[in-house]
Amino acid sequence: MIAPDGFRNIPYNIPMTNRTVLITGGSRGIGASIAREFAAAGDRIAIHYVSSSQDAQAVADSLAGGGHITVSADLRDPNAIRVMVDGVAQEFGKIDVLINNAGVFFDHPIETSTYEDWQKAWTDTLGVNLIGAANVTWCALQHMPKHGTSRIVNIGSRGAFRGEPISPAYGASKAAIVAFGQSIAKALAPMHIGVTTLAPGFVDTEMAARLLDGPEGEGIRAQSPFNRVALPEELAKAVYFLASPDSEWASGAVLDFNGASYLRM
């Protein structure tokens, strides 16, 4: 069977190991699990963090293999992003995979927030979750090989579809990251760069511990018919597939990953 002209020269036999991977928000939780999953397969990891260099270094030290690095940048600062991403590329020589994982969540219900708190929540949330991710992506693209194995995976949320009444800026930012990912999936397809989004529900991380360990925990787990929430390691395995060379035809897709806690057409 003859492949279409656009795919004839793609070297699908390039091994997945020894790739270079930049993970934003990689110092804990989902990002740390993603780092461990990729490192176990032989990839070199750049762990981005904002403020906790000790946490980032602890994750780096826990990774299989060698050559891993930690890098810092405030994702609300476009210049800091460019310096950070260029530094990763200088150290690794290229960036094969970008995982836009970093995100913030602030309570700011419209009916009770002050106008000042409302503005700050929107500015900071969109600044990190959307604009920051877009800027990291632009900068990383300048260093991505165009041979068919480069991948971008955005971490979205089921909140993009079901709504987030306590944090509307978060819901809006995750809906926007879906649209952003689909837009650049079309734009980057001629370069054979695949772009996908993973949309999880609740995940058992430090960030969610306050809710999961509190009186709301039972109800949160009951949102899924499996009566539990996701483990970070489960997300990491899904991200690993979405970043694989075999995932090109999934480009533009959004993978709901919420244990049937929220179903949509």
Question: What structural domains and CATH numbers belong to the chain?
Answer: 16-256 (3.40.50.720)
**pLDDT for the residue 16:** 54
**pLDDT for the residue 12:** 43
Contact of 154 with 197, CB cutoff 8 Å: yes
Place of tokens 């270094």: 57
How do strand 254-257 and strand 44-49 relate by DSSP bridges?
Answer: unpaired
Among 206, 186, 234, 248, which Cα is nearest to 33's? 234
How do strand 97-100 and strand 254-257 relate by DSSP bridges?
Answer: unpaired
**pLDDT for the residue 209:** 80
**Catalytic residue flag (residue 170):** yes
* pTM of the complete model: 0.92
Look at residue 58 and give its three-state secondary structure: helix
Place of tokens 């879906």: 178
The C-alpha atoms of residue 108 and residue 103 are separated, in whole angstroms, by 16
Residue of 12, 49, 170, 262 with catalytic role: 170
Task: For the chain, 265 residues long, give each residue's pLDDT as a single digit of tens.
Answer: 334 443 334 444 444 568 999 999 999 999 999 999 999 999 999 999 999 899 999 999 999 999 999 999 999 999 999 999 999 999 999 999 999 999 999 999 999 999 999 999 999 999 999 999 999 999 999 999 998 899 999 999 999 999 999 999 999 999 999 999 999 999 999 999 999 999 999 999 887 888 888 899 999 999 999 999 999 999 999 999 999 999 999 999 999 999 999 999 8
Among 83, 167, 95, 166, which Cα is nearest to 126's? 167
The C-alpha atoms of residue 183 and residue 181 are separated, in whole angstroms, by 5
The C-alpha atoms of residue 241 and residue 151 are separated, in whole angstroms, by 10
